[in-house]
Structures are given as C-alpha cells and as structure tokens.
Amino acid sequence: MHIKQIIIQGFRSYREQTVVEPFSSRHNVIVGRNGSGKSNFFYAIQFVLSDEFSHLRPEQRQGLLHEGTGPRVLNAYVEIIFDNSDGRLPLDTNEVSLRRVIGSKKDQYFLNKKSVNRTDVMNLLESAGFSRSNPYYIVKQGKINQMATAPDSQRLKLLREVAGTRVYDERREESQTILNDTIGKTKKIEDLLKYIEERLKTLEEEKEELKEYQKWDKMQRYYAHFVYKLASCLQYI
C-alpha cells in the first residue's frame, strides 16, 4: 500500500485546489524554495493520518484555514488516495480515498466519499499498521538531530515514543491510578461493613434485652392484675 495522490484545498498555504501526483511506491522527494509549502504539505498528511490534529477547538480549526488575500476561506480539506492493490486496508477496493474537511464549526471525515466518524477512520488505519499515538512513519525536521544532542533521559523518552512503549506506560499509570482508587474505595466499603456488623451486633443485644424486658413487663402486669382481682375478692369477705 502506498500514497497514490494527495489533494489539498484551503489548508494553510494552499488556497486553491492542489493535486500532487504521481507517487512512487518506493521513494519520493519533495523539493522547492523556502516558503513554497513543503512543510505545510507534510502537515497536510499528518492532518489526515496522525493524532496530532485531533480534537481541534474552533480557533485551532480556524488557524488551519488559508489566510491570504482575497475572499475569506471558510472550509479546507485534504484528501489522500491510497493504492490498496495489496489489500492492506481491509476494504474490497484497489483504491481508497480518505478525506478530512474542516471549517470553523465542522470537522468531518469521508472514506471513499462516504461520511464516517473519526474512531472508524483511526481503527481502519491501525488495522493497516498506522499507529495513532506513535506515527513512526513521519520523522519531522530536526528530530534526528534532537535525538543525537539530547541528554540520555530525553533520548530514552524519544526511543519509548518510537518503540510505542510510551502509550503503554501512560496506560499503566492510568491503570495504577484506577487500582489505587479501587483499593481506597474497597477500604471504605470494608470499614462500612465493619461498622454495620458492629451495629447489627449491638441491635441484636438490644433486641434480646427488649425481649427480656417484655417478658418481665408481661409478668409484672399479670401479677398486678392478679393482685387487683385478689383485693376485689377480699372486699366481699
């Protein structure tokens, strides 16, 4: 699978529709003068494929729209067409089109011209080996130099990102937080159960005391009634 064609319109420095093709299935080189849009071209690819531009706020979406002279640009889109003749993407087509459209109030994805949600797109890409959290297929300018000159701790962090272990470390921390929270709640529940058991024991003792009291109270009333009857009988003797 490889990129066959890229179409950009209204995105950053690309005001008019720009079609970039053809692409080799092996190596491609993008050349141009400073300010010709090389960086924005790669940003456009990231915009569709990576997680870097996910969950954009309205002002962030507005910042991705072309801001040049002429009429205001209200919408932008980037479309990537893949050659899927090897079937790497689990779709029964030799060509797969993935388009993302943004505006100040919208952010939509289209797969082969049909509207889909972001989760479905990311799941489809991951099935073909595109990691949303670890876009190893994109190496930004200065990344290699940064790794070569960075301290050991920073290089270790970068290596974890490349290896994809950072996301697991984050999930482990999240799991540990959930576990600690669960342990805390379990302790509170155990304390509550202990209190309930002690309270039930106290109520059981009070219940027995009440039964004993009712027993003697009944006997007392019986004897009081007996004495009253006896006194009434003695009055007639």
Asked if the structure places residue 187 within a domain, the reply is no
Instruction: Return the CATH number at 97.
Output: 3.40.50.300
Q: Is-contact 66 12, C-beta < 8 A?
A: yes
**Taking 80 as the threshold, does the pLDDT of residue 201 lie above it?**
yes
Spatial distance between the Cα atoms of 196 and 5, rounded to a whole number of angstroms: 69
Tokens of 111: 């797969």
pLDDT value, residue 164: 55
Spatial distance between the Cα atoms of 168 and 175, rounded to a whole number of angstroms: 10
pLDDT value, residue 158: 65
Asked if the structure places residue 174 within a domain, the reply is no
pLDDT value, residue 140: 67
Which residues have a Cβ under 8 Å from the Cβ of 122 and sit 6 or more positions away?
51, 132
Tens digit of pLDDT for each residue in 155-197? 777 676 655 566 567 678 888 999 999 999 999 999 999 999 9
Rg (CA), the chain: 38
pLDDT value, residue 53: 79
pLDDT value, residue 167: 58
Asked if the structure places residue 45 within a domain, the reply is yes
CB-neighbour burial class of residue 166 (10 A; exposed 0-12, middle 13-18, buried 19+): middle
Asked if the structure places residue 59 within a domain, the reply is yes
pLDDT value, residue 133: 58
Query: What element of type H or E holds 113?
Result: none
Domain count, the chain: 1
Asked if the structure places residue 141 within a domain, the reply is no
Tokens of 12: 């950053």
Asked if the structure places residue 215 within a domain, the reply is no
Query: Average pLDDT of the chain?
Result: 85
Spatial distance between the Cα atoms of 108 and 118, rounded to a whole number of angstroms: 8
The percent of residues in the chain predicted with pLDDT above 70, rounded, is 88
Asked if the structure places residue 179 within a domain, the reply is no
Domain that holds residue 109: 2-132
**Taking 60 as the threshold, does the pLDDT of residue 134 lie above it?**
no
Mean local confidence (pLDDT), 210-233: 81
* CA nearest to 98, candidates 85, 86, 116: 116
pTM of the complete model: 0.61
Tens digit of pLDDT for each residue in 18-74? 999 999 988 888 888 888 888 899 899 989 988 777 778 888 888 889 887 778 889
User: Tokens 């456009």, residue?
Assistant: 44
Asked if the structure places residue 210 within a domain, the reply is no
**Taking 70 as the threshold, does the pLDDT of residue 103 lie above it?**
yes
Mean local confidence (pLDDT), 132-139: 63
Tens digit of pLDDT for each residue in 55-71? 788 888 888 898 877 78
DSSP secondary-structure letter at 52?
A: T
Which residues have a Cβ under 8 Å from the Cβ of 131 and sit 6 or more positions away?
164
Q: How many CA atoms lie within 13 A of 105 on its CB side?
A: 0
